[in-house]
Amino acid sequence: MGAETLSEIKFPRESWDEYFYSIAEKVASRSRDDSKVGVVFVDSENTIVSTGYNGLPRRVSDDKTRINDDKEKLRWTVHAEANAICNAARTGMPTKNCIAYVTKFPCSRCAGELVQAGIIRLVTFGKMWKNDPNGDDGRRSWTILSESGVAVYAPKILMIDAKDTYAPAA
């Protein structure tokens, strides 16, 4: 039987990474944007600290003139990562040393914000953006995270060398 307990054999459950990522996917479903990005911040005791999804700021109307044109929508939208950071700040929850579970690999701006918020690990089962709002193909984001010491777990993304190339994992 090894190190497994009887209850682990009878009632297997997903890993913490899978569990919190599934919550991030549910959070993403709140977004009215086509990209549906969600994030969950979790502390060292596996407690949810904050969540966020991409959308317009609180109490700002998401009328069609603001969200139907992609360029205009980007001018109004707060990204999921920034929303989670703001939500944590608004409620007085520290984000230092948290893990971020995010449904898409962050754009370069969000990567920098995650670093500044004290995130120590990023987990995503999502892929790189095909149309990153900052014109990045993922290299800049990957470099920001790796140079700042954020551990990245992204099994669908294979980053060989952030300065040279990356390729989606098979």
Q: Which residues are catalytic?
A: 81
Q: Mutual orientation of helices 139-147 and 108-116 as an angle, nearest 10°? A: 10
Q: Helices in the chain by DSSP H: which ranges?
A: 6-10, 16-28, 64-67, 70-76, 80-91, 108-116, 139-147
Distance of CA 26 to the CA centre of its chain: 13
- 106 and 114 Cβ atoms separated by less than 8 Å: yes
